[in-house]
């Protein structure tokens, strides 16, 4: 059945999702939870047990299309991050350092080309585990495509060894500030508790994903493409190394800022903008040359930015229709009457379903954890298990949901159709869900707190 799966263009798909969300506002009863500011996170969170029906606010046909630019505005911090990262990495690409680095890696691994997959995957996995890397990947797709082409791998491999391990590591991470840490704060669970337990399953999850990617790469491999004329045998020079070190240091500063300074998307945008300026100066591109490279990068990121804005418009419509809380209430309430183990696994299912209309993992944490944490107390279940259910349900859903604008943008940049990605990733996704379920059941058995 998956072989016959054919989905429309991403913009058509996302626009259809917006219209479905608008239709849902006519069908579902409007309802809301009361909200209050959480002292631990400084965010507005729902108040458990306060769900109540409110006046319906159906979203009309025209209003649904008005939500598209509003979605762009709501996702402005992410959109500008995509533009500025794209511009910065275009500056780096214009220096030729990335192409020569790819060539050097290709020669280094000659005859052992499959090893490039775990090497690259672990880099992106580190980004996912440390800072929920998603949108940052978009700008790196052209470089990854050069690498995969040079080694004879399909474009799918470029996505599978970048977005795949990043999303998987985000979901199983012990320290991801945008997922596990914010969920632990809202659920009043000690930060970084259960880190060793999570790290064990993170390792298993990455082995599963990377192994699946390597099998696919080996099965679909073709003859490697010849390097462009004039680049064969090109080696990294001192300036290339200095540029690559600058890029690496930028990511080090990024992780420091996220973990110790509480940086958000605006600070990351500024950081990458500075990186591009520094690299342009190091390469002698001049002010004008650096600016032209930025403009080129902005143009290449426009489609990706649109996809992210269209995806955000779905939640805008559901918020306008006052039905997001209704969906959460409908999915969570049945869990109260289930046995503990079944309820814990049911939380994974509920978090997965909620993540489709609520594609922000941090937004989902502040929406659901205040409801599920008290529920876990009533069931005699550790709140740590509730956090795990949130991580696996919401985090892994990013691998397959079309409402994840970053995923759709990465696929579009790589020229990989969404249904092709689903055919590749669905077996791995189901395996990872099974691993998450095993983690939860083991956590319950050992009394994980």
For the beta carbon of residue 26, count every other beta carbon within 10 angstroms.
12
**Cβ-based burial of 229 (10 A; exposed 0-12, middle 13-18, buried ≥19):** exposed
Predicted pLDDT at 3 = 64
What is the per-residue pLDDT across 204-243, written as a single tens digit (0 to 9) for each? 999 999 999 999 999 999 877 666 655 555 678 899 999 9
pLDDT in tens, 297-318: 999 999 999 999 999 999 999 9
Rg (CA), the chain: 22
The 3-class SS string of 67-132 reads HHHHHHHHCHHHHHHHHHHHHHHHHHHHCCHHHHHHHHHHHHCCCCHHHHHHHHHHHHHHHHHHHC
Could you tell me if 67 and 318 are in contact, meaning their C-beta atoms sit under 8 angstroms apart?
Answer: no
Long-range CB contact pairs, 146-149, < 8 A, 24+: 146/98, 146/99, 146/102, 147/102, 147/105, 147/106, 147/116, 147/120, 149/224, 149/225
H or E stretch covering 35: strand 35-37
Give how far Cα 175 sits from Cα of 17, 36, 202, 414, Å: 32, 26, 11, 29
Q: Report yes or no: 223 and 240 within 8 Å, Cβ to Cβ.
A: no
DSSP character string of 370-416: HHHHHHHHHHT--HHHHHHHHIIIIIHHTTT-TT-HHHHHHHHHHT-
What pLDDT shows up at residue 30? 96
Residue 390 CA to residue 370 CA, distance in Å, equals 12
Number of C-beta neighbours around residue 54 at 10 A:
12
Q: Are 125 and 169 in contact (CB under 8 A)?
A: yes
User: Is pTM, for the whole model, over 0.95?
Assistant: no
What are the domain boundaries of the chain? 2-48+59-446
Per-residue pLDDT at 127: 92
Structure tokens at 280: 């342009």
C-alpha 84/C-alpha 71 separation (Å) is 19
pLDDT for res 6: 76
Q: What pLDDT score was predicted for residue 105?
A: 79
Q: CA 61 from chain center: how many Å?
A: 30
Q: To 10 degrees, the CA torsion angle through 196, 199, 204, 209?
A: 170
For the chain of 449 residues, list the mean pLDDT of each consecutive stretch of 10. Answer: 73 94 96 88 85 95 96 92 93 89 78 87 94 89 88 94 97 92 92 93 98 96 69 76 94 88 90 96 95 94 91 94 94 91 96 93 92 90 96 96 94 94 96 97 94
């Amino acid at each position: 059945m998956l072989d016959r799966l054919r989905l429309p263009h991403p913009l058509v798909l996302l626009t259809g999702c917006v219209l479905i969300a608008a239709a849902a506002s006519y069908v579902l009863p409007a309802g809301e939870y009361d909200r209050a500011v959480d002292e631990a996170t400084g965010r507005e969170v729902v108040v458990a047990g306060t769900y109540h029906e409110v006046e319906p606010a159906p979203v009309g046909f025209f209003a649904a299309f008005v939500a598209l630019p509003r979605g762009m505005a709501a996702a402005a911090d992410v959109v500008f991050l995509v533009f500025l990262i794209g511009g910065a990495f275009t500056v780096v690409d214009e220096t030729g350092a990335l192409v020569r680095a790819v060539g050097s890696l290709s020669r280094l691994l000659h005859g052992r080309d499959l090893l490039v997959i775990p090497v690259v995957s672990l880099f992106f996995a580190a980004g996912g585990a440390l800072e929920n890397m998603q949108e940052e990947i978009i700008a790196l797709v052209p470089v990854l495509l050069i690498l995969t082409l040079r080694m004879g791998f399909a474009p799918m491999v470029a996505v599978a060894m970048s977005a795949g391990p990043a999303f998987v590591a985000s979901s199983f991470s012990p320290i991801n500030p945008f997922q596990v840490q914010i969920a632990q704060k809202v659920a009043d669970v000690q930060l970084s508790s259960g880190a060793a337990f999570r790290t064990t399953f993170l390792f298993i999850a990455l082995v599963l994903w990377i192994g699946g990617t390597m099998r696919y790469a080996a099965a679909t491999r073709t003859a490697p493409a010849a390097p462009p004329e004039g680049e064969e045998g090109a080696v990294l020079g001192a300036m290339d190394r200095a540029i690559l070190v600058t890029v690496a240091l930028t990511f080090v500063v990024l992780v420091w800022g996220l973990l110790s300074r509480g940086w958000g998307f605006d600070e990351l945008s500024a950081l990458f903008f500075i990186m591009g300026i520094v690299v342009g100066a190091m390469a002698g591109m001049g002010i004008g040359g650096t600016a032209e490279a930025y403009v080129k990068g902005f143009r290449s990121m426009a489609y990706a930015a649109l996809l992210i804005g269209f995806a955000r418009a779905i939640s805008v419509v559901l918020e306008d229709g006052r039905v997001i809380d209704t969906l959460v209430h409908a999915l969570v309430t049945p869990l109260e009457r289930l046995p503990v183990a079944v309820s814990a696994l049911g939380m994974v299912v509920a978090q997965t379903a909620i993540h489709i209309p609520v594609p922000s993992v941090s937004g989902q944490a502040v929406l659901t954890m205040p409801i599920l944490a008290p529920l876990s107390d009533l069931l005699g279940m550790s709140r740590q298990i509730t956090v795990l259910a949130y991580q696996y349900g919401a985090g892994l859903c990013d691998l397959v949901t079309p409402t994840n604008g970053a995923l759709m943008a990465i696929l579009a940049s790589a020229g990989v159709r969404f249904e092709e990605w689903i055919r590749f990733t669905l077996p791995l996704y189901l395996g990872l869900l099974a691993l998450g379920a095993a983690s939860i059941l083991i956590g319950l058995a050992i009394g994980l707190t």
